[in-house]
């Protein structure tokens, strides 16, 4: 009995000893693991590590912008900044991932009335965070859904829109976000705040097989994959998705921050300062050969490269040094002891034989590699020839030889790569729905614009050579000249003349303070653009429909002469026929209402879009605005309402409110109203528009030459037609006869 009691007592003592040893080992392990937080501050919140300059609790963060709260929810602790939940924080990349709620607009399914309209704005202004412009995308999901992101950069407000449409369930594809059911667009750098707005009257509430909800969110591109269920079942409602933030010590560059050592954040030895790539500010990194937290004193610690045998950087013996390592070969060997090197034993006969055999094998491998390279080059040549034939290259060459004096040539891929420094992003001068435009310099020092398209459908492949020949023969002073093309690539590239002074949109809306543009200049730009479109509709053979007329597609040269550009949405069509398209093309604010309903593209579609351009010239306002009521967002709707209530003068740009020119302005406004007629048959032809604008220009010039005020005239509100009465006409005739 006594033996049993002693044995039990000894067992308990042994168990307690083992437990104490385990606790001591855990304590030593935690003590040896360096902390990335300030001493005495919380290192983790739930599964998220909180490294300094971030912190939880008083005096644990660099400043209030990095101060987080560790909040318990359902027994799980999570870090928050106000109501924004952090998922992880990276010191090396200067990035953090957060949760962002999906904004939604839902209808009751029986009418167009919204029953659920929730947007979840995020405002990080005055905080050290910017939304990553490289890892995030503004994404819209739904059928007949138009959403806009309103973003703030410093004191300026930006907005970007995205339209998701679909015909039926069969048109949707999992993983595809190219406009059918799902649309995504990039955001600029430096954005610290954003909100979501929906176009309420553009929805799928009357379509029974789609969810009555549309969604929009700023989301990490790699973390979101489109699913057809998002459109058919509304599975995105009330969801939260990851969003990437770029953080930095803000408002000073590295050079500025080093001047004040008391506030300089890179306090660790062996640390380096790197300027932020997204907004003003800088980050701290440990120097090469060190790791840890550069924001803490002595936070960057030497990496022992020799400690891990699996990643040993030496072929021989490894010796760790501060910030690096050295290698040497073992005794009795020589060679290169560093990584990918070898330490060879002293040569023997067997070794010499082995070397000879190895050299033979290497020679055989080199010969095999040369044969492979030759075959690959031939394969690439065959692929280029395949594309060249596929797009009608031989036919195009034959047509070029037939047409004398045609300033058009076929470029090689290498020529265009050399002209653009291999399509370097610094040479990008424009992005469009159909592709990217690069500035290039040819070998003969000509500056050109090279359009690199995104995709081309099978039907366009068959007709591409014919279409290019038609466009190459267009020779009009107000149309951007097509100089050549490259066919030996998967999607052909087009080479245009370079127009140096930007476009009409930039002239009217793009600068602050605004450039003063007089009415005479605006009238001339309108007349020249109308003449170019009238030429495409009436004089080109076959006639050409532009398909995307807008102020950003009217370029301006050094003398502000208008040149119509971007035929990416153009269609050549035989006379008296219309074009049917399967997806809506063009730009919001300029689209023909009948085209939105019927998908029939005609020359009157261009007339409607040109009417909106006339409104921009008269009012100085954007075609679409995010502010105000639904009717006030559309410039054309706002204009038509103003014409009904005699409110044109209040809508005009302040730069052209001149009583001496008001009669001409009214005539242009009346012409714009006829162009914006809902029914196509009530719109004038582009030729009629060009003639009317040309007549108004002559009238303006005649009055200036004779120093006379423009005679009074009226315009018919009911017909919406500009009517110049006899007093004005007689004055023009008398002035011409007097010459």
Smallest CA-to-CA distance from 176 within 104, 224, 244, 106 is with 224
Is there a contact between 728 and 667 (Cβ–Cβ < 8 Å)?
Answer: no
Q: Do 244 and 224 meet the contact criterion of CB atoms below 8 Å apart?
A: no
Give the span between the Cα atoms of 539 and 478, in whole angstroms: 14
Question: Which among 603, 602, 481, 499 is positioned nearest to 560, based on CA atoms?
Answer: 499
Beta-ladder partners of 432: 435
282, 294 contact by CB (below 8 A): no
For residues 65 and 249, the answer to whether their CB atoms sit within 8 Å is no
C-alpha gyration radius of the chain: 35
The three-point CA angle 197-198-203 to 5° equals 175
Residue 705: count of CB within 10 angstroms of its CB: 10
DSSP-derived letter for residue 551 is G
- Given a contact cutoff of 8 angstroms between Cβ atoms, the answer to whether 465 and 510 are in contact is no
Asked if 267 and 292 count as a contact pair (C-beta separation under 8 A), the reply is: no
Q: Which value, to the nearest 10 degrees, does the dihedral of the CA atoms of residues 636, 638, 640, 644 take? A: -170
H/E/C letters for each residue in 447-459?
EEEEEEECCCCHH
Residue 463, Cα to own-chain centre: how many angstroms?
30
Known binder of ligand: residue 466?
no
Q: How many CB atoms lie within 10 A of CB 156?
A: 9
CA distance 304 to 289: 8
Whether 693 and 527 have beta carbons less than 8 Å apart is answered as: yes
Three state DSSP letters for 467-509? HHHHHHCCCCCCECCEEEEECCCCCCEEEEECCCCCEHHHHHH
Residue 291: which H helix or E strand, with range? Answer: strand 290-292
State the catalytic residues.
Answer: 548
Phi, psi of 403 (to 5 degrees): -90, 105
Distances (CA, A) of 307 to 28, 237, 330, 561: 19, 50, 18, 70
First to last CA, the chain: 140
Let me know how long the chain is. Answer: 739
Please give the Cα distance from 622 to 615 (Å, whole number).
9
Binding residues: 452
């Amino acid at each position: 009995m006594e033996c049993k009691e002693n044995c039990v007592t000894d067992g308990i003592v042994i168990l307690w000893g083992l437990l104490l040893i385990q606790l001591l080992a855990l304590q030593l392990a935690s003590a040896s693991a360096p902390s990335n937080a300030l001493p005495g501050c919380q290192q983790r919140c739930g599964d998220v590590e909180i490294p300094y300059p971030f912190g939880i609790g008083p005096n644990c963060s660099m400043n209030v912008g990095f101060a987080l709260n560790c909040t318990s929810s359902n027994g799980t602790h999570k870090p928050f900044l106000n109501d924004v939940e952090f998922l992880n924080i990276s010191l090396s990349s200067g990035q953090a991932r957060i949760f962002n709620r999906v904004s939604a607009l839902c209808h009751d399914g029986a009418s167009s009335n919204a029953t659920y309209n929730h947007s979840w704005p995020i405002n990080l202004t005055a905080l050290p965070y910017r939304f990553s412009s490289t890892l995030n995308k503004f994404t819209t999901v739904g059928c007949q859904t138009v959403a806009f992101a309103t973003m703030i950069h410093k004191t300026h407000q930006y907005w970007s829109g995205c339209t998701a449409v679909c015909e039926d369930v069969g048109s949707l594809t999992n993983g595809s976000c190219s406009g059918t059911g799902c649309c995504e667009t990039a955001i600029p750098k430096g954005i610290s705040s954003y909100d979501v707005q929906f176009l309420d009257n553009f929805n799928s509430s009357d379509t029974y097989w789609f969810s009555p909800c549309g969604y929009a969110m700023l989301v990490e591109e790699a973390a979101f994959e489109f699913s057809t269920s998002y459109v058919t079942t509304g599975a995105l409602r009330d969801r939260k998705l990851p969003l990437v933030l770029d953080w930095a010590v803000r408002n000073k560059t590295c050079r500025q921050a080093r001047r004040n050592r008391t506030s300089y954040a890179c306090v660790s030895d062996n640390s380096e300062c790197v300027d932020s790539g997204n907004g003003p500010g800088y980050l701290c990194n440990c120097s090469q050969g060190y790791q840890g937290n550069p924001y803490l004193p002595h936070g960057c610690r030497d990496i022992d490269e020799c400690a891990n045998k699996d990643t040993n950087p030496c072929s021989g013996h490894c010796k760790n040094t501060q910030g690096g390592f050295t290698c040497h070969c073992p005794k009795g060997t020589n060679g290169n002891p560093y990584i990918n090197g070898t330490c060879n034993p002293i040569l023997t006969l067997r070794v010499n034989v082995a070397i000879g055999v190895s050299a033979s094998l290497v020679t055989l491998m080199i010969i095999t590699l040369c044969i492979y390279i030759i075959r690959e080059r031939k394969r690439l040549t065959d692929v280029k020839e395949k594309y060249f034939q596929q797009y009608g290259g031989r036919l195009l060459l034959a047509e070029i030889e037939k047409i004398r004096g045609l300033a058009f040539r076929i470029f090689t891929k290498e020529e265009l790569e050399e002209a653009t420094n291999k399509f370097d992003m610094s040479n990008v001068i424009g992005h469009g729905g159909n592709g990217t435009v690069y500035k290039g310099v040819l070998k003969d020092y000509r500056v050109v614009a090279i359009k690199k398209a995104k995709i081309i459908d099978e039907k366009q492949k068959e007709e591409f050579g014919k279409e290019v020949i038609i466009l190459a023969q267009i020779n009009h002073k107000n149309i951007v000249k097509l100089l050549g093309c490259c066919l030996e690539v998967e999607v052909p590239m087009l080479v245009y003349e370079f127009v140096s002074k930007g476009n009409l949109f930039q002239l009217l809306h793009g600068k602050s303070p605004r450039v003063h543009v007089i009415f005479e200049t605006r009238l001339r730009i309108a007349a020249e653009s109308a003449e170019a479109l009238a030429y495409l509709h009436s004089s080109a053979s076959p006639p050409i429909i532009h398909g995307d007329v807008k102020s950003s597609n009217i370029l301006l040269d050094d003398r502000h002469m208008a040149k119509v550009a971007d035929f990416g949405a153009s269609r050549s069509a035989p006379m008296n026929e219309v074009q049917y398209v399967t997806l809506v093309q063009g730009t919001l604010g300029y689209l023909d209402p009948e085209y939105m309903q019927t998908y029939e593209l005609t020359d009157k579609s261009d007339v409607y879009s040109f009417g909106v351009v006339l409104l921009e010239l008269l009012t100085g306002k954007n075609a679409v605005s995010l502010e105000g009521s639904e009717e006030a967002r559309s410039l054309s709707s706002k204009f038509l309402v103003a014409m009904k209530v005699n409110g044109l003068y209040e809508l005009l740009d302040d730069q052209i409110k001149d009583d001496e020119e008001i009669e001409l302005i009214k005539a242009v406004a009346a012409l714009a109203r006829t162009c914006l007629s809902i029914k196509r048959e009530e719109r004038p032809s582009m030729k009629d528009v060009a003639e009317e604008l040309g007549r108004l220009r002559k009238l303006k010039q005649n009055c200036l030459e004779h120093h006379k005020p423009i005679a009074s005239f009226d315009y018919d509100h009911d017909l919406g037609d500009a009517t110049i009465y006899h007093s004005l006409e007689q004055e023009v005739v008398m002035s011409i006869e007097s010459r």
